[in-house]
């Protein structure tokens, strides 16, 4: 949208006043009111994409596919990746106007940019997202969120302070299959909820440790940013390894685990609120640069008796759900179960998975496209399907699972204070220092 900043903000404030008087349930709204259809160039939501590697480019393409959106700038510390993204955008837009940046701060200084997609390596997620919120941008943030609970809290505070419209990259919520599974649970179709089983792929080990020259075309110092300064090793900056190096990520206990855990929380609703006991074990690599857990087995027990079991692999006893993939969420109740992943939904009693949830029953927020949902919410100033509060809550579950396997203690987490109860050792894991001059 190429209006002046005051005009754009006035429009958004007016939309906010209208939205505050409306419920969050799905409504029929004319396409023109949401910016769809023949959108004048001046009314397009303008997007800048920060971090345009494999996942970042996938996210960017989802926004390019929206008729009322124009991607105007891309940012990455790898020159080849940056150029590929620039060409991608220009080919889509039919011109040569996409700007490129090696420093995200220069992109954020562009006042006409309304939304930023943030998809660099995980250790950059929160620092960039906070800077974006403070710059007045709305945000699509790739999962997971921060490298510590304190980082998650800092981003939430920034978004709430600045009125940022925030979308978390847990896109399974924008899928009918996952929503149906959660509605079946919320409406008591499996009886009283007793157990939630959650599994995801685990991290991998290995990686060369010998220092080698930094490849040409990578700004390694900027890539490291707030992470410790260490010599470059082969493929350190590639998806082959950085996902599994604790300086940059928690590994797949968060990087993949956030997806099925988020669905577990969405389906359980208020059945999993309040303090929770957590304990577990994990296996960590003994050699190579990759040092995050290659397997884990974590048990959560909520005060109302609901239990959640989170592992880095599907267990044999879960074969009762039918063919299971490398990831999934299964809810078990007194009268049946429902299991969902990206390939299918299954349930017992048979046929439950295709049953109808009536309008008189509880219906969850409906979105069929994560990017589209954010764009609509940027225009209306309504919360997205994965808003900051719920995103932080799900991300924290990943953190306390990781802390449990590192401390090898039975811990009690208080979601009210967002601290462990009577355990200073565990609380020390809630923060993580950043390398100067970067700070939260």
Q: CA–CA separation, 218 vs 222, rounded Å?
A: 9
Q: CA–CA separation, 300 vs 333, rounded Å?
A: 16
- Which pLDDT value is given to residue 1? 60
Average pLDDT rounded to a whole number, residues 415-422:
96
Average pLDDT rounded to a whole number, residues 331-360:
95
Q: Could you tell me how many residues make up the chain?
A: 440
> What's the whole-number average pLDDT of the chain?
92
Q: CA–CA separation, 411 vs 422, rounded Å?
A: 9
- Which pLDDT value is given to residue 42? 74
Asked whether the predicted pLDDT for residue 12 surpasses 50, the reply is: no
- Which pLDDT value is given to residue 440? 86
Average pLDDT rounded to a whole number, residues 147-165:
98
Q: Which two tokens stand for residue 411?
A: 């811990």
- Which pLDDT value is given to residue 430? 98
Q: Are 293 and 405 in contact (CB under 8 A)?
A: yes
Domain annotation for the chain: domains and CATH numbers: 5-173 (3.40.50.720), 175-208+220-364+390-430 (3.30.360.10)
Q: 283-298: per-residue pLDDT in tens?
A: 999 999 999 999 999 9
- What single-letter DSSP state applies at residue 214? P
Strand order in the sheet with 138-141: 99-101, 69-75, 45-50, 115-118, 138-141, 166-168
Q: For the stretch 25-44, what's the b/e string if a residue is b when 16 or more beta carbons lie within 10 angstroms of its beta carbon?
A: eeeeeeeeebbbeebeeeeb
Q: 217-247: per-residue pLDDT in tens?
A: 999 999 999 999 999 999 999 999 999 999 9
- Which pLDDT value is given to residue 23? 34
Pairing of strands 166-168, 138-141: parallel
Q: Give the global pTM.
A: 0.90
Asked whether the predicted pLDDT for residue 29 surpasses 90, the reply is: no
* Nearest CA among 396, 154, 128, 363 for reference residue 265: 396
Asked whether the predicted pLDDT for residue 186 surpasses 50, the reply is: yes
Q: Which two tokens stand for residue 39?
A: 């959108």
Helices (H) and strands (E) in the chain, counts: 13, 15
* Nearest CA among 47, 57, 108 for reference residue 78: 57
Q: CA–CA separation, 251 vs 234, rounded Å?
A: 19
**What are the DSSP calls for 375-436, one per residue?**
HHHHHH----SS-HHHHHHHHHHHHHHHHHHHHTS-EEEETTTTEETT-HHHHGGG-----T
Average pLDDT rounded to a whole number, residues 159-171:
98
Q: CA–CA separation, 244 vs 226, rounded Å?
A: 17
SS3 282: strand
Q: Are 352 and 336 in contact (CB under 8 A)?
A: yes
Percent of the chain with pLDDT over 70: 91
239: Cβ–Cβ under 8 A, 6 or more apart, which residues?
53, 54
| C-alpha pair distances (Å), 260 with each of 255, 266, 308, 309 | 11, 10, 12, 11
Q: 54-103: per-residue pLDDT in tens?
A: 999 999 999 999 999 999 999 999 999 999 999 999 999 999 999 999 99
Query: Environment class of residue 401 by beta-carbon count within 10 Å: exposed (0-12), middle (13-18) or buried (19+)?
Result: buried
- Which pLDDT value is given to residue 196? 98
The residue with tokens 């919410």 is: 377
């Amino acid at each position: 949208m190429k209006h002046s900043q005051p005009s754009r903000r006035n429009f958004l404030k007016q939309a906010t006043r209208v939205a505050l008087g409306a419920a969050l349930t799905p409504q029929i709204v004319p396409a023109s009111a949401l910016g769809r259809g023949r959108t004048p160039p001046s009314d397009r939501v303008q997007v800048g994409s920060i971090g345009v590697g494999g996942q970042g480019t996938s996210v960017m393409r989802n926004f390019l596919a929206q008729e009322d959106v124009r991607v105007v700038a891309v940012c990455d510390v790898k020159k080849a990746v940056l150029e590929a993204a620039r060409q991608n955008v220009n080919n889509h837009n039919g011109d040569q106007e996409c700007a490129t940046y090696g420093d995200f701060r220069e992109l954020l200084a562009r006042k006409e940019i309304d939304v930023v997609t943030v998809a660099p390596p995980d250790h950059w997620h929160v620092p960039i997202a906070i800077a974006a919120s403070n710059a007045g941008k709305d945000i699509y943030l790739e999962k997971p969120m921060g490298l510590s609970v304190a980082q998650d809290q800092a981003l939430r505070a920034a978004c709430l302070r600045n009125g940022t419209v925030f979308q978390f990259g847990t896109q399974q919520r924008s899928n009918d299959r996952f929503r149906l599974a959660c509605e079946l649970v919320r409406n008591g179709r499996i009886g009283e909820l007793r157990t939630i089983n959650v599994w995801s792929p685990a991290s991998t080990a290995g990686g060369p440790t010998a220092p080698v020259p930094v490849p040409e075309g990578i700004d390694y110092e900027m890539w490291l940013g707030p992470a410790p300064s260490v010599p470059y090793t082969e493929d350190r900056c590639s998806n082959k390894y950085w996902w599994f190096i604790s300086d940059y990520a928690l590994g797949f206990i968060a990087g993949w685990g956030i997806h099925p855990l988020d669905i577990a929380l969405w389906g359980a609703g208020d059945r999993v609120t309040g303090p929770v006991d957590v304990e577990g074990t994990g296996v960590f690599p003994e050699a190579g640069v990759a040092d995050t857990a290659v397997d884990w087995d974590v048990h959560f027990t909520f005060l109302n008796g609901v239990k959640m079991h989170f592992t880095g692999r599907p267990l044999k006893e879960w074969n009762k759900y039918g063919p299971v993939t490398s990831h999934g969420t299964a809810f078990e109740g007194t009268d049946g179960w429902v299991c969902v992943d990206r390939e299918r939904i299954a349930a017992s009693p048979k046929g439950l998975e295709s049953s109808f949830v009536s309008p008189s029953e509880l219906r969850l927020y409906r979105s069929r496209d994560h990017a589209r949902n954010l764009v609509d919410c940027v225009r209306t100033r309504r919360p997205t399907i994965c808003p900051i509060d719920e995103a932080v809550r799900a991300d924290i579950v990943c953190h306390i699972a990781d802390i449990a396997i590192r401390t090898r203690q039975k811990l009690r987490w208080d979601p009210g204070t967002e601290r462990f109860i009577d355990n200073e050792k565990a609380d020390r894991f809630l923060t993580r220092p950043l390398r100067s001059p970067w700070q939260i």
